[in-house]
A and B are shown apart, each in its own frame.
Chain A
Amino acid sequence: MTASGRAAVALWLAFVAVCVFFVSRAEYSADLSAFLPSSPTAAQQVLVDQLRDGAVARIVLIGIEGADEPALAAVSGRLLENLRRNPGFAQVQNGSLDLLAAEAEFLIRHRYLLSPAVTAERFTVEGLRLALERQLDRLASPLSLLTTRMLQRDPTGELFEIIDAFGEHAGPDRRHGVWFGRDGQRALLFAQTGAPGFDIDAQASSLDVIQAEFERARDVPGAQSTRLLLAGPGVFAVQTRAAIKRDALRVSTIAAVLIGLLLLIALRSPRVLGLTLLPVATGAAAGVAAVSLVFGSVHGVTLGFGATLLGEAIDYAIYFFTAGGRDLALGRGPHGLWPTLRLGMFTSLAGFAALLLSGFPGLAQIGLFSACGLAVALLVTRWVLPQLSPAGYEARIDASFGRALDRVLVHAPRWRLAAHALLALSAGWLIGGGVPWSDELSTLSPVPPAHQRLDQEIREDLGAPDVRHMIVASGNSRQRALERAEEVARRLSPLVDGGIVSGFDSPAIYLPSEVTQRARLNALPGQAQLRSNLAKALAGLPYRSGTFEPFLLEVPAHKRAPLMSRQDFEGDFLAIKFDSLMIEHEGRWQALLPLRGVQDVVAIERALADAVPEVMLLDLKAEADSLYREYRRQVLAYSLLGACAIATLLVAALRSLRRAWDVLAPLAAAVLASCALLVLFGQQLTIFHLVAMLLVVGVGSNYTLFFDRALQTGESPQRTAVSLLLCTVSTVIGFGTIGFAQTPVLSAIGTTVAIGALLSLVFGALLASGRKLDHGAADRADAR
């Protein structure tokens, strides 16, 4: 080994050590928001924040099934008790009515702060008279049984006003005193973790606690058959990470074994086999290290995608060992291997650089990872592999295999017509039928569809409504946001009366702003005033004297009581309700007011017109859809930009339009045909398919560049064909295996690249053999 060789190896070892250091410290994330734009509109920001930080992101939906109703209800009750004792949960609810009673007591205690009907007029002689007459009607009502008890404390009926304001929550059904799904097959609970939704480790341990407590709760006769179902954003994050880990491990093990076997047969040396893995492994480590340095954390999808890098990077080593071995010289001579590999790498880089520029952290991560990984893998192939590979090693290609291949290639021109027809058909079909783009944001989710369905089911059971329209009122403090929410409510109430909106929710219903609370307390009269007003109001009514003493005592006490704050309902159902309607993001507070039954969006906009921009009306479905469409449009634009960069690069490097065409045309054909194939198999195309196409171009350009090189050098066509075939087979094995992964992203990329790589080779071979015949004809013409 030469001095410079030793230096290269030492440098490489040091580099690997540094990478390993960063890889070991890297943090991993799996939240969907990484694949949302980093500089969104204000409306999109609300959406993203809700997905990421909101109280909603900390909710775990729990279903218990697999036994009869009483057994399920009993398990639900025990699980509730067990979980409530655990400090890791801010909330646990199963709809139990005992808890409801505690809630009612809270409302009674704060009735003069919470009731929207509290005004000074209500406590005048006329106001009290009206209230007392209304209470007489209530006494006559069949429900008086339940309401009479509050009469003496609350003759003005504030508790009724509060219950009306809170609305008739369409909660889940109750059976045996606890929440059940509609068909009665599933008892429901929901828990809110103390830890934030994006802290996956904390979420994972919360889920473990739930699982363990469930095991204890069902350990009684008759309940052993019960099963636990979990859903919710935190569960998704944990499951996704686990699924990607599992997928990556399983897929890469299977792929590694298969590719290893293939290479062992072709290369006939375990040592060389080990060496082919060095560039890949170093590249992957460098990619993870670079992403974690630049972005702070590595997204699970990036990591999964990184595994696919294997497909392209391993090719470098294969070229190195099959297309001539170490002595054939990387870099030596005008037609050495090195310029071709280098150009191939730059071509891939041009594609991935486009992703780096896109405004989406998730895609930029994939771009950075791939660019770093490929560059490092090639550098290792170029400078380190020659130092380590056994002296005089040359892959012996089986001559008969080569000849057989050659015979196929000789006949290839016959297939060109068929290929052209196929391409014309693909193009016609895609243009005629339109590309079936998937139009839902959820397709970006790394969560397997089965889990998404379960989540949807439990959500429907819990009666969590699908909100479409929402008003967001923001301010620089919680109080300001609440005051604006109250202003919005004042403007909306005529619309509710007019039937334009059937109703709305607001955090200020559960915690009024301090301004409002103070105004309500100020509206309460002093004791002497109240006593005299009440005495006058009672004249002529059939109430027995002394009935309202509790009222006369409580009102002055309420007037002196402190205002309500968020802490007052900590651990209560109302806290979940309030928190889910309130978002804090970088010092900005946003109150969310979901609207029900919107008939006329324009009328609402008109009512809010002069309150903008602190108040805005969102159409969440439209926002989500436009977010996704914009996202896809941008990725498409960046991909086209990448394609242009690749074309420019090739023209500049090859200094020939014709050669650049020969390299690019098979790739374009492969992309077109694989799109058509995917569509034929009923796939809806997503952004991940687009990204995979970039990879197809990256991998495929190596093939076509090698065909080009073979044409230029007149090198043994057998050798080129064999080493390319080896690369393709290993790529198809690698990506084909990934195509069977459960994570939608991975399977989309795997399938696409496997098909695309194979087609690149086929089209490349067809074009190259055609050119060879032309060359042959030209040579013969010259000779004549």
Chain B
Amino acid sequence: MNARLARLIAAASVLLWAQFAAAQADWGLHELMRELAQTRRSEARFVERKYLSVLDAPLELTGRVLYVAPDRFEKRTLTPKPETLIVDGESLTLHEAGRARPRRLRLQDHPVLWGFVESIRATLAGDLAALERFYAVGLDGTRRDWELALAPRVQAMRAVVRLIRIGGSDSKVRWIEVTEAQGDRSVMQVFEDRQ
């Protein structure tokens, strides 16, 4: 190998590295979180499919989700059965059809549920600290097409959830996939309303 070629390769690799570094500096987990945190309010339609070992066929749910910064999240299921889940601050309220009084829980009393709620709420809020409290957070992809992988840190939660993956582009969440410990899985697709 002659010296010119060696210089060329060196220059090219420096250039490539610089480009890569620039891309990293430009966009990463912190940057993604910062962008997600810009959204004060978002509303969307969803379709969720649950693949459960106890059922022969997947269960399909549709409805709407709403997020209002910093800590309110609503999931209104419309089919097959109306049901509304509201998380506001530390409280979780579940309105079920055919039940006069809603169920109310404090998230702090149910750490597994709390962790599950934060996978979505803290992502929408761009709150990395809250996410990392419950999960080891991994990021893959590009700004246009990113994918977060959330692996539960605590044993109590790992007994229920194996992995949560959240995909999106720019500051929009597009889909959420939850894989449970026993292998049951649910995939929720989110179609954001035009602002």
Q: Which chain A residues have a beta carbon within 8 Å of chain B's beta carbons?
A: 97, 136-137, 139-146, 148-149, 151-152, 168, 171, 173-175, 177, 542-544, 547
Tell me the nearest residue of chain A to B58, going by C-beta.
Answer: A542
Contact of A547 among B54, B109, B112, B116 (CB under 8 A): B54
Q: How many angstroms from the CA of A168 to the CA of B101 in the assembled complex? A: 12
Known: A97-B111, A173-B106, A542-B56. A144 touches B85 (CB 8 A): no
**Stretch with Cβ within 8 A of A (4 or more), from B76-84, B123-131, B135-143:** B76-84
Q: How many angstroms from the CA of A156 to the CA of B179 in the assembled complex? A: 26
Known: A142-B94, A144-B50, A543-B55. A137 touches B81 (CB 8 A): yes
Question: Across the interface, which residues of A come within 8 angstroms of B182, CB to CB?
Answer: 149
| Nearest Cβ on chain B to A534's Cβ, whole angstroms | 14
Asked if B55 contacts A141 (CB within 8 A), the reply is no
Known pairs A145-B160, A152-B54; list 11 more (Cβ under 8 Å).
Answer: A97-B109, A137-B96, A140-B61, A142-B94, A144-B50, A145-B161, A146-B160, A148-B184, A168-B104, A542-B56, A547-B53
Q: How many angstroms from the CA of A547 to the CA of B54 in the assembled complex? A: 6
Asked if A139 contacts B160 (CB within 8 A), the reply is no
Known: A140-B80, A140-B81. A146 touches B112 (CB 8 A): yes
30 CB contacts below 8 A, A to B, read: A97-B111, A137-B80, A137-B81, A137-B96, A139-B50, A139-B54, A139-B55, A140-B50, A140-B61, A140-B80, A140-B83, A142-B75, A143-B94, A145-B112, A145-B178, A146-B160, A148-B52, A148-B54, A152-B54, A168-B104, A171-B109, A173-B108, A174-B108, A175-B108, A542-B56, A542-B57, A543-B55, A543-B56, A544-B54, A547-B53
Q: Does B88 contact A (CB under 8 A)?
A: no
Q: How many angstroms from the CA of A141 to the CA of B106 in the assembled complex? A: 18
Question: Across the interface, which residues of A come within 8 angstroms of B52, CB to CB?
Answer: 139, 148
Q: How many angstroms from the CA of A144 to the CA of B96 in the assembled complex? A: 13
Q: How many angstroms from the CA of A544 to the CA of B113 in the assembled complex? A: 27
Asked if A151 contacts B108 (CB within 8 A), the reply is no
Asked if B59 contacts A142 (CB within 8 A), the reply is no
Asked if A174 contacts B106 (CB within 8 A), the reply is yes
Q: Does B192 contact A (CB under 8 A)?
A: no
Q: How many angstroms from the CA of A140 to the CA of B109 in the assembled complex? A: 23
Asked if B94 contacts A141 (CB within 8 A), the reply is yes
Question: Across the interface, which residues of A come within 8 angstroms of B184, CB to CB?
Answer: 148
Asked if A141 contacts B54 (CB within 8 A), the reply is no
Question: Across the interface, which residues of A come within 8 angstroms of B54, CB to CB?
Answer: 139, 148, 151-152, 543-544, 547
| Nearest Cβ on chain A to B107's Cβ, whole angstroms | 10
Asked if A145 contacts B116 (CB within 8 A), the reply is yes
Question: Across the interface, which residues of B come within 8 angstroms of A137, CB to CB?
Answer: 80-81, 83, 96
Known: A145-B180, A151-B54, A168-B104. A140 touches B59 (CB 8 A): yes
Q: How many angstroms from the CA of A143 to the CA of B117 in the assembled complex? A: 10
Q: How many angstroms from the CA of A547 to the CA of B52 in the assembled complex? A: 11
| Nearest Cβ on chain A to B103's Cβ, whole angstroms | 8
B142-174 residues at the A interface, CB under 8 angstroms:
160-161
Q: Which chain B residues have a beta carbon within 8 Å of chain A's beta carbons?
A: 50, 52-57, 59, 61, 75, 77, 80-81, 83, 85, 94, 96, 103-104, 106, 108-113, 116, 160-161, 178, 180, 182, 184
For the residues of A in contact with B, the DSSP-based class is mixed
Q: What number of A-B contacts does a CB cutoff of 8 Å give? A: 72
Q: How many angstroms from the CA of A137 to the CA of B106 in the assembled complex? A: 23
Question: Across the interface, which residues of A come within 8 angstroms of B83, CB to CB?
Answer: 137, 140-142
Question: Across the interface, which residues of B come within 8 angstroms of A139, CB to CB?
Answer: 50, 52, 54-55, 59
Tell me the nearest residue of chain B to A171, going by C-beta.
Answer: B109
Asked if B55 contacts A544 (CB within 8 A), the reply is yes
Q: How many angstroms from the CA of A140 to the CA of B184 in the assembled complex? A: 13
Q: How many angstroms from the CA of A144 to the CA of B109 in the assembled complex? A: 17
| Nearest Cβ on chain A to B95's Cβ, whole angstroms | 11
Known: A173-B106, A543-B56. A142 touches B85 (CB 8 A): yes
Asked if B113 contacts A146 (CB within 8 A), the reply is yes
| Nearest Cβ on chain A to B38's Cβ, whole angstroms | 26
Question: Across the interface, which residues of B come within 8 angstroms of A175, CB to CB?
Answer: 108
Most buried by B among A136, A142, A144, A146: A142
| Nearest Cβ on chain A to B142's Cβ, whole angstroms | 31
Tell me the nearest residue of chain A to B75, going by C-beta.
Answer: A142
Tell me the nearest residue of chain A to B81, going by C-beta.
Answer: A137
| Nearest Cβ on chain B to A174's Cβ, whole angstroms | 5
| Nearest Cβ on chain A to B172's Cβ, whole angstroms | 21
Q: How many angstroms from the CA of A136 to the CA of B59 in the assembled complex? A: 9
Question: Across the interface, which residues of B come within 8 angstroms of A174, CB to CB?
Answer: 106, 108-109
Q: How many angstroms from the CA of A151 to the CA of B112 in the assembled complex? A: 18
Tell me the nearest residue of chain B to A164, going by C-beta.
Answer: B103
Question: Across the interface, which residues of B come within 8 angstroms of A149, CB to CB?
Answer: 160, 182
| Nearest Cβ on chain B to A387's Cβ, whole angstroms | 77
Question: Across the interface, which residues of A come within 8 angstroms of B110, CB to CB?
Answer: 146
Q: How many angstroms from the CA of A152 to the CA of B75 in the assembled complex? A: 27
Q: How many angstroms from the CA of A542 to the CA of B55 in the assembled complex? A: 5
Tell me the nearest residue of chain A to B161, going by C-beta.
Answer: A145
Identify the 10 closest CB pairs spanning chains A and B, nearest first: A174-B108, A547-B54, A142-B85, A542-B55, A542-B56, A137-B81, A544-B56, A542-B57, A140-B61, A140-B59
| Nearest Cβ on chain A to B113's Cβ, whole angstroms | 6
Tell me the nearest residue of chain A to B79, going by C-beta.
Answer: A140
Question: Across the interface, which residues of B come within 8 angstroms of A143, CB to CB?
Answer: 85, 94, 113
| Nearest Cβ on chain B to A499's Cβ, whole angstroms | 10
Q: How many angstroms from the CA of A140 to the CA of B52 in the assembled complex? A: 10
Question: Across the interface, which residues of A come within 8 angstroms of B113, CB to CB?
Answer: 143, 145-146
Tell me the nearest residue of chain B to A547, going by C-beta.
Answer: B54
Known: A148-B184, A174-B106. A140 touches B55 (CB 8 A): no
Question: Across the interface, which residues of A come within 8 angstroms of B94, CB to CB?
Answer: 141-143
Q: How many angstroms from the CA of A143 to the CA of B116 in the assembled complex? A: 10
Question: Across the interface, which residues of B come within 8 angstroms of A141, CB to CB?
Answer: 83, 94, 96
Q: How many angstroms from the CA of A142 to the CA of B84 in the assembled complex? A: 9
Contact of A544 among B53, B75, B77, B106 (CB under 8 A): B53
Most buried by A among B108, B112, B113, B160: B108
Q: How many angstroms from the CA of A145 to the CA of B83 in the assembled complex? A: 15
Question: Across the interface, which residues of A come within 8 angstroms of B116, CB to CB?
Answer: 145
